[in-house]
Amino acid sequence: MEQLIGAQIREVVEKRGMTVTEFAKRINKSRENAYSIFSRKTIDTGLLKLISEVLEYDFFKQYSSDYIHLEVAYTQNLEENRMLRDYNMLLKKEK
């Protein structure tokens, strides 16, 4: 079963060793509001962006299959470019 976004946020807050009070302060919310965030099923993208920045964790990445696909394609392109560059250097040496 997929974990709720609020529970994921709480998990990352705990992994960062951050108190709820510190987390709340850094996102400009009350401590009570922070606890409310931890129980949410959904969250506003603007708030999630702020939370991602504060916690230095990309909560959006896991929800975007396009992003994952692009990341894989990018990595494959980097490797292909390295191979072509190496091949090109070998060809230049043979001249």
**Domain residue limits, the chain:** 1-59, 64-95
Please spell the DSSP secondary structure of 3-71, one letter per residue.
Answer: PPHHHHHHHHHHHTT--HHHHHHHTT--HHHHHHHHT-S---HHHHHHHHHHHT--TTGGG-HHHHHHH
Q: How far apart are CA 50 and CA 59, in angstroms?
A: 10
pLDDT, residue 2, reads 60
pLDDT in tens, 54-79: 999 998 887 666 566 677 777 888 88
* Paired tokens of 36: 């409310």
Q: Which CATH number applies to 1-59: 1.10.274.10, 3.40.50.1110, 1.10.2020.10, 1.10.260.40?
A: 1.10.260.40
pTM (2 decimals)?
0.65
At 10 the pLDDT is 97
